[in-house]
Structure 1
Amino acid sequence: MNIWQFVVQVTVILNSFKCIQSFPDEDPEDTTGYVDDEGPEVTTGYVPVYDEYKKVLAQVLFRHGDRSPVHSYANDEYTEADWPQGYGQLSIKGMQQEYVLGAFLRERYTSCQGLTINEESCLKLLSEDYKRAEVYVRSTSYDRTLMSAYSVLSALFPPPFREQDTSSMGSAELFSVWQPIPVHTVPMEEDYLLGIGKCEMFNKLMNETLMNLTNPRMQEMLSEYSELFAHVAEHSGEPNSVKGMDKVLDPLFCEYVSQDTGKTLPSWVREDTDVLGQLLELRDMYAEFSVPGTFAYLKGGSLLKEMINHMIGKVNDTVAQRLFLYSAHDTTVIALLQTMGLFNYKAPPYTACILVELLEKDSDYFVQILYRNDSNSEPYVIEINDCGTKCPLQMFVDKYLPSLPENIVEACRGTGLNNVNEYVTNYVNENLSPVTVLNVILASVIVLTLISFLICYFFKETSGRSSAKYMPVPTEMSDLS
Structure 2
Amino acid sequence: MFLLRGLLALVAGFTVVPFAFSAPPSAVDELKAVVVLFRHGDRSPLSSWPNDIYYGNSTLWPDGYGQLNNLGKERHYRLGQWFRERYDGFLPKRYNHNDIYIQSTDVDRTLMSAASNLAGLYPPLDDQVWNSAVNWQAIPIHTTPEELDVILATEFPCPKHDRLLEELYNSTQFQNWNEELASVFEELSPLTGYEDLSVHSFSGLFSTITIYRGFNWTLPEWTDTYWPLIKFWATRKFQWPTYTPDLARLRSGPFFDYLLSYFKSVKGNVSLPPRHVKGPRHQDLLLPNSNAPKFLMLSAHDTTLSDRTNALGVYPDAVPEFSSTVIWEVRNGTQGFYVNMFFKNSTGFSNLTLPGCEFNCLIDDYVKLVEPICIGVDQWKEECNN
TM-score higher than 0.5: yes
Equivalent residue runs for 1:353-432 within 5 Å: 353-362=325-334, 364-372=336-344, 374-377=345-348, 379-406=349-376, 407-414=379-386
Aligned CA distance change for structure 1 residues 183 and 47 (closer, same or farther; 3 Å): closer
- C-alpha distance in structure 2 between counterparts of 1:80 and 1:58, whole Å: 42
CA distance 1:313–1:256, shift in 2 (3 Å): same
CA gap 1:293/1:345 in 2 versus in 1, 3 angstroms: farther
Matched, 1:287 2:287: no
Q: Does 1:266 align with 2:220?
A: yes
Among 163, 172, 184, the residue aligned to 1:228: 184
Any idea what the Cα deviations from partners look like across 1:143-171, whole Å, max 9, x if unmatched? 11111111111111112499xxxxxxxx9
Unaligned runs of 5+ in 2: 1-20, 271-290
Residue 177 of structure 1: CA displacement? Answer: 2.4
State the TM-score, normalized to the length of structure 1.
0.65
User: Closer, same or farther in 2 for the Cα pair 1:46/1:188, shift >3 Å?
Assistant: closer
Return the alpha-carbon distance in structure 1 between the equivalents of residues 244 and 137 of structure 2.
40
Distance 1:98 1:161 in 2: 24
In the TM superposition, residue 320 of structure 1 has moved relative to its aligned partner by 3.7
Question: Residue 173 of structure 1: CA displacement?
Answer: 3.5
Question: Is residue 54 from structure 1 mapped to residue 19 from structure 2 by the alignment?
Answer: no
Alpha carbons of structure 1 residues 349 and 128: separation in structure 2 relative to 1, 3 Å? same
Instruction: Report which of the two structures shows the higher radius of gyration computed on alpha carbons.
Output: 1
Q: Which whole-Å CA distance do the structure 2 matches of 1:290 and 1:100 have between them?
A: 31
Which structure: greater strand fraction?
Answer: 2
Higher relative contact order (CA 8 A, sep 6+): 2
Candidates 144, 148, 155, aligned match of 1:186: 144
Matched, 1:257 2:214: yes
Task: Specify whether residues 48 and 358 from structure 1 end up closer, same or farther in structure 2 by C-alpha distance, changes over 3 A only.
Answer: closer
What is residue 145 of structure 1 aligned with on the other side? 110
- Which range is displaced more, 224-233 or 131-140? 224-233
* Alignment CA distance shift 1:47-1:332 (3 Å): closer
Does the CA contact (< 8 Å) of 1:301 and 1:339 recur in 2?
Answer: no
Q: Distance in 2 between matches of 1:357 and 1:181?
A: 23
Question: Structure 1: which amino acid aligns with 2:327?
Answer: L
Give me the whole-angstrom Cα distance separating, in 2, the residues matched to 1:356 and 1:391. Answer: 11
Residue 282 of structure 1 deviates from its aligned partner by: 2.6
The AA in structure 2 aligned to 1:144 is: R
Alpha-carbon displacement from aligned partner over 1:196-219 (angstroms, at most 9, x marks no partner): 21222222333333333x12xx35
In structure 1, the partner of 2:248 is 296
Q: 2:5 is matched with which residue?
A: none
1:206 corresponds to 2:171 = no
Q: Which amino acid aligns with 2:256?
A: L
**Counterpart check, 1:129 vs 2:94:** yes
SS of 1:296's partner is helix
Structure number with higher helix proportion:
1
Give me the whole-angstrom Cα distance separating, in 2, the residues matched to 1:387 and 1:298.
Answer: 23
What secondary structure does 1:74 align onto? coil
Query: 1:336 matched to which residue of 2?
Result: 308
Secondary structure of the corresponding residue to residue 136 of structure 2: coil
Q: CA deviation at 1:85?
A: 1.2
Gapped regions of structure 1 (runs ≥ 5): 1-44, 111-123, 163-170, 415-481
